[in-house]
Structure formats: C-alpha cells, structure tokens
Amino acid sequence: MGVLVTGGAGFIGSNFVRYYAARHPGEQVVVLDALTYAGNRENIGELERDGRVAFVRGDIGNEELVEHVLRTSRLDVVVNFAAESHNSLAILDPARFYRTNVLGTQGLCEAARRAGVERFHHISTCEVYGDLDLDSDESFHEDSPYRPRTPYNASKAGSDHVVRSYGETFGLPVTITNCCNNYGPYQFPEKVIPLFTTRALQDQHLPVYQSSANRREWLHVDDHCRAVELVLEKGTVGRTYHVGSGREASVADIAAAVLAATGKPDTLVEVVPDRPGHDRRYLLDSTRIRSELGWAPEVSFAPGLAATVAWYADNESWWRPLLGRSPVVEGSWSARSDGAVAPH
C-alpha cells in the first residue's frame, strides 16, 4: 500500500509520517505540503534523506498535481492533515481558511476520485460543533449538529461536508476523525503549549486570555497517530470517529504547568484581551472508536506535557528560527472601521 499524507510537514502530519513510516517500513509514503509559514520540511528531513519518505511541494487544491502524484507513485490511500488551523489568524484573514480548508479539500477529493484511491481519510476537529457551557456535563457525539462559531471552525465544518458529499455522491471511500486539541513535539510555536513553553524558556510573559477558565480536551499527538492508523486498518467506510482523551485543562492550568516544568515564576503570566468568538469548552464522546476499534489513549496528560516541555527545552535549534514567522500577536486586538479586528 502507498500513502499520500497531505500537510505532512506540519505538526500532527509530520508526527504521523514518522509514526507510520516506522510502523510500516515496506510501504511507500509521499508527503504533499505547500510549506506555508507553519510548515517545516525539516520535520520529516531525516526520513526524506534516508529514502523512507518522498516529498512533493504543492497545494491540495491543485487537482492535476495531486492526481499525477497519486497515479505515478501508485498510492492507494490519502490521509488529509492539510489545513489552515490557527483561530486567531482566521479572524484576521478568513478567506485563506476557506480557500484551503473548503476549496482545497474539494480539489483533493476530486483528484482522489479520479485516481480511484482505496481510502480517503480526513482529519477534522472538535471545533466544528461549536462550544459547551463550562458547567455542562454534555459532550459532542458523532451525530451532534455542526454549529461553528469562528471562521476556522466554519471552514473545517465545510471541509467535512465536502468529504461526506464525495462519499455519498461519487462513492469515494471516506472516513473522518474529529480530534480534540493535540500537544507534543514539533508543534509550531504559535499554539498555546509551545507558545507558553518557548516564552517561559526565554523569561518572557505568557499571554493568558481573560477568560482563563475556558477549557480544552487534550490528547498527545502519538495517541492521535495511533487512532488514525486504526481507522485506516479497521474503520468502516463512511463513518466518523471521535478521538478524545476525556482530559480537560484550562489555559490557566496550562500556564501553571508550563511554568512549573520550566521552573519559572508565576509573575510571567500576563492577562490579555480575549479574541473574538472565543469558544468556552469542547469535549468529545469517543465511545465509538474505543468500543469498535479498541483504541484508548496511552499518554497521560501530566507526564505527556512534562515530556513535551522538555522536548522544547532540548530542541531550541528547532523552534528558535521559527519565532516571528507567525502573522499573529496574541492579545493585540483592536477594532477596525470595517468591523474586523487586527493586531496592533
């Protein structure tokens, strides 16, 4: 079997590429990535240099390129991690999110349909469902209604609908996983855990939103990779599977844990204004993947977070060149005359 991993130079994608290549040494793995500001080819550099992975630079919306790669490399499976994923950037530039996440996914599906792939697996997010009250005992199920609240959420919801439509209309053999927040090595330092970690290591302030009690469900990226592999091997075509740990933590909890792991003082915490449309809470019911496929997370949050902080401390040469590449300064929001928001 040959696998095309789109977005394979990004955080979750590159972790999956390393995981999958190690577990399936006889299979061909091709990475397609546009290498936007958050993409880093060196994330898979060692695998590329020793011939275990081939790399193609390109956009998932380029149907001709994708179809050519699928046919010439004789790839049977597409795993789509490619997405614009930063909520704050989506507020500043929503169009790029709809172009990549909706139109790009449609182009990728069309190329996969033409090439006759045996499986198209799409990576989605818990955020398509909207948010939950902080004191709620509810969780999102696979049949929960989509109620996205931000441009990023909406663009990912749109991509899910595109994938399902290609399954229903054209018979493309699709599966989808909606996952909770991931953490682990190689995450671009605009996201909260690497942002806090790299700033703490430099004795800089950690920007904590005013709504610091807002919670997210957290899963180590290695557990996510195992879940995707299981769905590829055993998942039912046409089904959606939730991938969640059940472990929630607030941004205040994350800041405290990072400061403790780095030995830095609490005075580094700096409260900043909330971003518009800031969701309160997400929690996925992952009963289906646990009962049908036998998946369960293996990395507990506290040791997983400590190991992640230690990885960043040991790999400054990886993250330091990336500082300043993010187009967003968290907390620096101001209203413009057109009603949008922009950093100042």
> Is-contact 252 266, C-beta < 8 A?
no
Whether 333 maps to a domain, the answer reads: no
- Phi, psi for 330 (deg, rounded to 5): -60, 135
CB 211 within 8 A of CB 59: no
CA 110 to chain centre: 22
Integer Rg of the chain from CA: 19
The answer to whether the beta carbons of residues 130 and 149 sit under 8 Å apart is: yes
The parent domain of residue 49 ranges over 2-184+219-247+282-301
Residue 277 inside a domain? The answer is no
From 132-136, 154-158, 278-282, the region with the lowest mean pLDDT: 278-282
CA atoms within 13 A on the CB side of 225: 22
Mean pLDDT of the chain: 92
User: What is the CATH number for 107?
Assistant: 3.40.50.720
Residue 318 maps to a domain: no
Q: Which residue has tokens 């690497």?
A: 194
Contact 281, 253 (CB under 8 A): no
Q: 324 lies in a domain?
A: no
Pairwise CA distance, residues 304 & 287, whole Å: 22
The one-letter code for the residue type at 9 is A
Packed helices 301-314 and 192-201: angle between N→C axes, nearest 10 degrees: 50
Provide the pLDDT for residue 56. 98
Report how far Cα 313 is from the mean position of its chain's Cα atoms. 22
User: Considering its fold, how many domains does the chain have in total?
Assistant: 1
Judge whether 152 and 190 are in contact, CB under 8 Å. no
330 band by pLDDT with thresholds 50, 70 and 90: low
In a domain, 12, yes or no: yes
Residue 189 counted as domain residue: no
Cα–Cα distance measured from residue 182 to residue 184, given in angstroms and rounded to the nearest whole number? 7
In this prediction, residues 238-253 reach a mean pLDDT of 95
Q: Render pLDDT for 40-64 as a digit per residue (tens, 0 to 9).
A: 999 999 999 999 999 999 999 999 9
The CA-atom distances, in angstroms, between 32 and each of 16, 44, 56, 61, 80 are 13, 12, 5, 11, 10
pLDDT (tens digit per residue) in 103-151 = 999 999 999 999 999 999 999 999 999 988 777 888 899 999 999 999 9
What is the distance in angstroms between the CA of the first residue and the CA of the last residue of the chain?
49
d(CA 122, CA 323): 29
Confidence band of 333 (pLDDT split at 50, 70, 90)? very low
With the C-alpha atoms ordered 220, 222, 228, 230, is the resulting torsion angle positive or negative?
A: negative
Tell whether 88 is covered by a domain: yes
